[in-house]
Structure formats: structure tokens, C-alpha cells
């Protein structure tokens, strides 16, 4: 199948390394769980009878679910109305040069930032003022915020406020193509979106009933928003290791993505676990430049060791 990009530009998405990790997936999958799914990139690009996306971020799961059930033409029309209302640029329809010419002292590095700033911050204020951020209109506003935000990303404060500054791009042809491809794909497969922590009873029941689980958890030693917010720590890491012990004891197929080492730091819980499970697992090194794979051999000159871990055959 042709690889599809998620409509969410989610931090750490695995699109570029799918060719390195998918050869280790089972050849035939009935029910797959994409655990810590983020932007849903891996599940979106996996052939199986049923895919269950699980993440504990209610905004991400809500947006993915909303987009999946939307009719593309209707959604695009409604997004266009919001773009017009907030006086944002729309290069997919009117071209980039139209807006570029209206920016005084245009700076290529800033893109359309100056043009969109006023409307973007009004959109952000209106979204943050919503009492219910899980309605259809809230999800449309959230999607546009992501598209027009810095790095096309999503970030919320501890109090649930979207807090990224305006970015330099807009709803361009690339974003529209990704959105349409995602909707087309999700409306032709059997998929569920579950908002739950992987330690919850609900998530564990789903995970244990699936015949394959792909896991891309927050990385313990990476400097990311989820680490700064204290959402992922060593306790969570040990919970994940106990889950993998269950998989090994019950012969369940799984693939784990993670970073073992980065710039002198090491994920000690995971590293120690791998040393005690040497006969039961395989560690496959991912080329961190995403050009090729190096199997079971550490690149000693690399600052980062990104790996996948699978059960030993």
C-alpha cells in the first residue's frame, strides 16, 4: 500500500522510518493496537482486519476520531468558512504569492506569520474560551490551530489552553492532500479510537485481546513536552516493561520503538530490562539518519541510539 502521512504533524511520528520497522510486523494481522498512537501514522499504514488507536491525550484522540468520521468535501467547506471569518491566508485556493505581496518587508523565514498573526490569535482565544472542547466546531477550530501554529504542532498548557504561537504556513495543498487521504483510508477500514492510559483496565483488556501491539511510548530520556509536564517518568517506564513481560510470557507479537541512548544519557530501566531478556528479545537499531538500518550493532559514533525491540522467534 502507498504510505500515507497523518494530517496531524505529531512530534515523533514514525513516517520516515516505516520502511525500517514494518518488516518486523506479523505478515497477517487480525486486530492490531497502535498504542501511544499520537498522530496514528503507524496504524494508518498497516494492513489488518481491525486497528485500535489508543492514546491518553484526549485532544489528539478526539481530533483523530472527528476527522475520521467527517465527509471530506463538507469538512473542507466548513474549514474555509472559518478561514474567511478569521481572515487567515488560504494558499491552497488562492496561492502563496497573493498573501506574500501583502506583507510589508516580507521575510521568507517568517513565511505567512505576519499576515496570519491577528486572525490566528483571535482563533486561539475563541477556542480556549470554549467550555466544551470536544464538539465538532471545537475540533474544526483545533485542526486549523494546528495547521496555522508554529511547526504545525499541538501543545496545551496544564489548564488545557492551546498555547503555541502563530506559525509561517497555512492550509496549503499538502495539508489538504493529507487530510483527504486520511479520511479516505479511515472510512475504508475497521478502526476505533480509544482515549485511555495504557495502565487502565479498559486499555489493558483491549491490548490483551489483540494479536499484535505496536508501541511508541514517550521517550524517557528525550526533552519533549510530555516529559516537561511530568506525564512520563520511570514509574511509567516500569509499567510498560511489565506489560512487555506479559507479552513475552503469553507469546503475543509486539514491536516497541524507543531511544536507548542520546547524547550521553541512557534509558536505564529499558537498558537493564534488555540485558535480562537477551534470550527472549531482539534489538534492531534504527539508523538515526533514516537512510538505512544497522542490525544488532551500535553505531559508536552516533549521538543517539534509536531501536525497535521485538520478541525472539
Task: Quick: pLDDT tens for 141-197.
Answer: 999 999 999 999 999 998 889 999 999 999 999 999 999 999 999 999 999 999 999
Domains of the chain: 15-56+196-311 (3.40.50.150), 70-179 (1.10.1020.10)
pTM: 0.91
E strands of the chain, at which residues? 31-35, 50-55, 190-195, 212-215, 253-262, 265-266, 281-286, 294-295, 304-311
Could you read off the pLDDT of 56-85 as tens digits, one per residue?
A: 999 999 999 999 999 999 999 999 999 999
Contact (Cβ atoms closer than 8 angstroms) between residue 116 and residue 89: yes
Cell (9 digits) for 6:
497523518
Cell (9 digits) for 260:
536507548
Could you read off the pLDDT of 113-124 as tens digits, one per residue?
A: 999 999 999 999
Amino acid at each position: 500500500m502507498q504510505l500515507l502521512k497523518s494530517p496531524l504533524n505529531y512530534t515523533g511520528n514514525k513516517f520516515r522510518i516505516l520502511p525500517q520497522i514494518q518488516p518486523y510486523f506479523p505478515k497477517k494481522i487480525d486486530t492490531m493496537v497502535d498504542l501511544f498512537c499520537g498522530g496514528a501514522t503507524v496504524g494508518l499504514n498497516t494492513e489488518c482486519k481491525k486497528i485500535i488507536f489508543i492514546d491518553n491525550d484526549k485532544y489528539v484522540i478526539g481530533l483523530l476520531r472527528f476527522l475520521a468520521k467527517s465527509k471530506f468535501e463538507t469538512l473542507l467547506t466548513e474549514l474555509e468558512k472559518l478561514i474567511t471569518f478569521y481572515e487567515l491566508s488560504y494558499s491552497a485556493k488562492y496561492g502563496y504569492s497573493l498573501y506574500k505581496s501583502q506583507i510589508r518587508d516580507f521575510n521568507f523565514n517568517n513565511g505567512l506569520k505576519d499576515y496570519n498573526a491577528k486572525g490566528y490569535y483571535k482563533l486561539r482565544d475563541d477556542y480556549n474560551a470554549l467550555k466544551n472542547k470536544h464538539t465538532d466546531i471545537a475540533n474544526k477550530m483545533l485542526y486549523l490551530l494546528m495547521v496555522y501554529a508554529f511547526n504545525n504542532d499541538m501543545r496545551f498548557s496544564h489548564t488545557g489552553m492551546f498555547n503555541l504561537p502563530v506559525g509561517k504556513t497555512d492550509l496549503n495543498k499538502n495539508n489538504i492532500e493529507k487530510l483527504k487521504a486520511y479520511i479516505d483510508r479511515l472510512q475504508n477500514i475497521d478502526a476505533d479510537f480509544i482515549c485511555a492510559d495504557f495502565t487502565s483496565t479498559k486499555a489493558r483488556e483491549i491490548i490483551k485481546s489483540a494479536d499484535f501491539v505496536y508501541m511508541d511510548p514517550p521517550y524517557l530520556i528525550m526533552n519533549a513536552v510530555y516529559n516537561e509536564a511530568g506525564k512520563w517518568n520511570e514509574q511509567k517506564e516500569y509499567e510498560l516493561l511489565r506489560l512487555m513481560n506479559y507479552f513475552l510470557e503469553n507469546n503475543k507479537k509486539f514491536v516497541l520503538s524507543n531511544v536507548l541512548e542520546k547524547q550521553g544519557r541512557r534509558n536505564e530501566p529499558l537498558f537493564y530490562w534488555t540485558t535480562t531478556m537477551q534470550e527472549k528479545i531482539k534489538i534492531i537499531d534504527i539508523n538515526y539518519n533514516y537512510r538505512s538500518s544497522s542490525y544488532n550493532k551500535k553505531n559508536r559514533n552516533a549521538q543517539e541510539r534509536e531501536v525497535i525491540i521485538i520478541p525472539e522467534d
